[in-house]
Amino acid sequence: MSPTTYLEAIRQGIWEEMERDERVFILGEDVGIYGGAFKVTEGMLERFGAHRVIDTPISESAIVGAAIGAAYMGLRPIAEMQFIDFISCAFDQITNFAAKSRYRWGAGVPMVIRGPSGGGVHGGPFHSQNPEMYFVHTPGLKVVAPSTAYDAKGLIKAAIRDEDPVIYLEHKFLYRRVKEELPQDDYTVPIGKAVIRRPGRDLVVLTYGAMVYIAMEAASELVKEGIDLEVIDLRSLLPLDKETILESVRRNNKVFVLHEDTRTGGIAGEIAAVICEEAFEYLDGPVLRVTALDTPVPYSPPLEEFFLPKVPDVLKTARMLASY
């Protein structure tokens, strides 16, 4: 069996759920005839037909509004954002209708909104963003960000089966760079559960998405210096797996958070607050952050490289914390 790419894992997960449940359908710009901007939906129009693979106008608010209505009527829509940056056009529908529906009148909205996020591909300020915190701040939503092909497939299937709206962030830098052999059997990855990618005993880094690989590379360097870094992949940002986070902090006593999102208002601040509130007495140093800069994502490759967190940034923070 040849390894499956991160992109193909997402495609397989959607395909299998459409085979399993005739209520599942996908809608978005160029998802049908073209097969998606990144070819995630390639072949689906031919297999499932135009009533389940729907090419839409260039209107994210219409895409999400139609998906909410379809979910109300018993269907399970998957709304694709060609780039996740464009999700801001549908902010009202997502935060004021889908997210609040169950609270207001008990109606779930079993809908997935998915799309390519993140930088590293020189896409510029309108095709490289990490908009997760706009939605992590919104009660009623779930937000997931897989880093591996296994999780990409398992989380898309879990999201489709969920009874409430899920924002599914797929990192475009990982689409064809990450590969692994996947089980033949049906499986899901639970939403709201982090995973320890690398056990450690000296300090812990909490991260997600493409930054998992930055953390793992840094951990390989640090072990040569006698620093054993535990790497936790959050996978789910809302709900957050506080149990795994706090248990690791209690064992390692030193922690920092790494994310590609910008610094101010990023999830690192929320996690730091949770740790200080619930595990302060276990800390042997400050909770630190390694993040992108507080600027739009640059288009220039050298500027984007400077903007994004890198292995040396992680090494510097880990060394400082280890010696604190």
Task: List phi, psi (to 5°) of 260.
Answer: -80, -20
Could you tell me how far CA 88 lies from the centroid of its own chain?
16
Contact 43, 19 (CB under 8 A): no
Q: Which residue in 46, 13, 309, 45 sits closest to 151, CA to CA?
A: 13
- Sign of the dihedral through C-alpha 263, 267, 271, 274: positive
Which pairs count as long-range contacts for 45-49, CB under 8 Å and 24+ apart, including other chains?
47/15, 47/18, 48/18
Residue 85 has what DSSP assignment? G
**Torsion from C-alpha of 309, 149, 198, 189, nearest 10 degrees:** 110
Q: How far apart are CA 21 and CA 8, in angstroms?
A: 20
By C-alpha distance, which of 319, 321, 269, 320 is closest to 294?
Answer: 269
Cα gap 297→252, rounded to integer Å: 33
Active-site residue (options: 127, 137, 171, 259)? 127
Residue 122 designated active-site: no
Residue that the structure tokens 């042997």 belong to: 284
Compute the distance between CA of residue 308 and CA of residue 171 in angstroms, rounded to an integer.
14
- Residues that are catalytic: 127
